[in-house]
Structure 1
Amino acid sequence: MRPMLATSGDSRTGPPTGPAWAHEIKWDGIRLLAEVRDGRLRMLTRSGRDIAVALPELAGLADVADDLLLDGEAVAMVGGKPSFGHVVDRVHTMSATAAQKLAATRPVTYVAFDLLRLDGMPLDALPWSARRAALEDLLDGIPRVQVSPVFDDGAQLLAATAAQGLEGVVSKRRSSLYAEGVRSPDWLKFPHRDTMSVVIGGWRPQTGTAGRLGAVHVGLPTTDEDGMPLCDEEGRLRLVYAGRVGSGLAGRAGEQLAALLGEVPRTAYPFTTDIPRAEAHGSTWLEPRVVIDVASLGITPGEGRLRQPSYQGVRTDLTPLDLLELS
């Protein structure tokens, strides 16, 4: 099962109006399908990886029903606001012992926003309004689980989320069916910040050091004339260069990313175009495997480079090929 995806809404007009639409907060978390079968809970990322061991505080979902499939997000609240960095730290934890300790000190909440199957009955062919009504009656009293609130006025919600420093708004057509793996115009997203996912193709050390991470080279996958992912002769993905990201890598964030990149195989230069020798000097090229989020001021016309990019965190729920679907 692959989650339904939202289409980017028109920022000039804002969220749609009228009774045909409902509006939810866009949570800055990790998208997860919560599935229960035969008493076992699985928390599935968009790539299909089960990370339930990392989130023991959500074990109560296994008691909701013998057969269940929910769509939602794992959200970590820090100072009253969702922190993507904190939830990323949690989903990286595959040690049950470490996860139990983190659950006590840095818990996540599963914010459910859709019900796709219950007691063996698929619900994806029902309208959103019917799925939503069933969801609201289902999850009362489950620890660390809540249902995402719904609002009628999208413009008002967009203004409120901006004032509170939240990520944005998702508007949903009340009559919409759940289209598995489809980026549907029945769901529209209106984010407040210009954040995008990119793939790391290499890194260079901090000036004056031998191995400390100073910046990463990033790019985006592309397709060939047949619409297939562009790869080299050995089948390795090629990336369109999008620039170098150094901001946001100080301290623990940079140390964690460096440790992750240390496990990625080295490769030949993975980008489709050459970069200046000064930028490439001292760089280590990696197989395009790691997806990260960066915030920026957009992309420079012509060059296709990110403007003032800042590292936000690793997207363990995405693969490089997933980004072709997002483009």
Structure 2
Amino acid sequence: MRPMLATKGTLVPVGEAWSHEVKWDGVRILADTLRDSGSTRMWSRNGNDVTPAWPEIAAGPLAGRDALVDGEVIALNDKGVPDFRVLQDRIHTRKAATALRLSASIPATFMVFDLLRLDGTDLTGQPLERRRQLLGELLGGLEPGSTWQVPTSYDDGQMLHQATLQQGLEGIVSKRRTSRYVLDQRSPHWIKLAHRHRLSYVVGGWRPQEGTTDRLAAVLVGESTPDGLLYRGRVGSGIGGKAGRLLSDLLAPLSTSSSPFADEVPRLDALGTRWVEPSVVIDVDTHGVGYTRLRQPSYRGVRTDVRAEDL
């Protein structure tokens, strides 16, 4: 089984025909609970059985019911924002002991947003509005701290879009209320709108293009904090000919022998990096804010009007 997917959009659809939900930055899961066995099996977006990775979710609230639900497994980073990378250590876990240990240190929550089958009745042909109603009746009594939650859907997409932008969330998904659910299909009736944020970061190093020693291909950037310059990732997209030459000229006089970052730079990123004094500030477009590492960053230019200490 593979879930129905949303189509990328550029504008939030308006009108009573649409409902809107938060776009979660997590792992898409179909959870199939079986009445006879009392167990829950969980399937990834690619149709793989991932039940062993999520023991606290597999032991969900639907024991004794026959149901198939769609949702997103999320975990929060140290800034309280859902962050896919926090889940990296858990995604491929298949050993029960390891999964239980990780569930204690990296707690996950299953945000359930659709109901596809209930007590033997296939609901995929029902409109979304009806499926959401039944889902609310089925899971409406969950405690706030439960590992399963039913996220709110909203009538005002523009409001939700602005609110998620301000909160640093990934974006929203707009869904036509009459939409049916078709497994393994990208539907034009579900539209996803991801945010792009433009923020300023300090350059702490650069990496040459593969096969060269002096042609800049990417920069390593950090965020100025009271604890020093904390590493936020590598930026290569958007750096081409002219931009690369400009950055090379600015960074050449700033060469230093050691990393200016206060925390440890991952070995894969540090390998081959040329460190520089942290004084050049650049603007970067990225998905979401509040992440410890930039999401799909893209270079947008040098800030000559801002100093590193201003950040």
Question: What TM-score does the superposition give when structure 2 sets the normalisation length?
Answer: 0.62
Aligned 1:83-162 pairs, distance under 5 A: 83-139=83-139, 140-141=141-142, 143-162=146-165
- The count of aligned residue pairs is 214
* CA distance in 2 between partners of 1:117 and 1:166 (Å): 30
Tell me, in whole angstroms, the C-alpha distance in 1 between the residues paired with 2:175 and 2:169.
Answer: 18
Q: Name the SS for the 2:135 alignment partner.
A: helix
Identity of aligned residues (%): 45
TM superposition shift of 1:137: 1.4
Corresponding residue number in structure 2 for 1:20: 17
Query: What's 1:66 paired with?
Result: 65
Quote the offset at 1:141 in angstroms: 2.5
The 1:144/1:252 distance shift into structure 2, 3 A limit, reads: farther
Change in CA separation of 1:55 and 1:186 when aligned onto 2, cut-off 3 Å: same
Structure 1 residue ranges, 4+ long, deviating more than 6 angstroms after superposition:
none
Tell me, yes or no, if the aligned pair for 1:65 and 1:118 is still in contact at 8 Å. no
Write the distance in 2 (CA, Å) between the matches of 1:6 and 1:127: 16
| Residue 199 (structure 1) aligns with | none
CA distance in 2, matches of 1:68, 1:253: 45
Counterpart amino acid of residue 32 in structure 2: E
2:7 and 2:94 map into 1 onto residues whose CA distance is 32
Structure 1 letter corresponding to 2:81: K
- How far does residue 243 in structure 1 lie from its aligned partner after superposition? 11
2:130 counterpart letter in structure 1: A
- Secondary structure at the aligned position of 1:53 is classed as helix
SS of the residue aligned with 2:60?
helix
Cα pair 2:42 2:58 within 8 Å, conserved = no
Once residues 268 and 65 of structure 2 are traced to their aligned partners in structure 1, the CA distance between those partners, rounded to angstroms, is: 42
Unaligned runs of 5+ in 1: 195-203, 208-214, 216-241, 245-249, 256-292, 299-306, 309-327
Q: Residue 168 of structure 2: SS of its match in structure 1?
A: coil
Q: Which amino acid aligns with 2:95?
A: S
Q: Does 1:45 align with 2:44?
A: yes
Distance 1:193 1:15, change over 3 A: same
SS of corresponding position for 1:82: coil
Q: Secondary structure at the match of 1:297?
A: strand
Q: Which amino acid aligns with 1:67?
A: D
Over the aligned positions, Cα root-mean-square deviation in angstroms equals 3.0
- Structure of greater Rg: 2
TM-score (norm 1): 0.59
Q: How does 1:241-256 map to 2 (within 5 A)?
A: 251=265, 254=268
The residue matched to 2:178 in structure 1 has which SS?
Answer: coil
Separation (CA, whole Å) in 2 of partners of 1:183 and 1:91: 23
- Cα distance change of structure 1 residues 35 and 186 upon mapping to structure 2, 3 Å threshold: same
Task: Give, in angstroms, the shift of residue 251 of structure 1.
Answer: 4.8
Name structure 2 gaps, 5 residues minimum. 198-209, 219-236, 240-263, 270-293, 302-311
Task: Give the partner amino acid of 2:183.
Answer: E
Alignment match, 1:36: 33
Give the conservation status (yes or no) of the 8 Å contact 2:60–2:147: no
Q: Equivalent residue for 1:186?
A: 189
Decide whether aligned partners of structure 1 residues 17 and 65 sit closer, same or farther in structure 2, where only a CA change above 3 A counts. Answer: farther
> Residue deviations 1:78-102, cap 9 Å, x none?
2321011012221122221111111
Shift in Å, 1:59: 2.8
Q: The residue matched to 1:88 in structure 2 has which SS?
A: helix
For residue 65 of structure 1, report the CA deviation from its aligned partner: 4.0
The Cα offsets for residues 137-160 of structure 1, whole Å up to 9 and x where unpaired, read as 112327311012111111111111
Contact 2:39–2:63 (CA under 8 A) maintained in structure 1: no
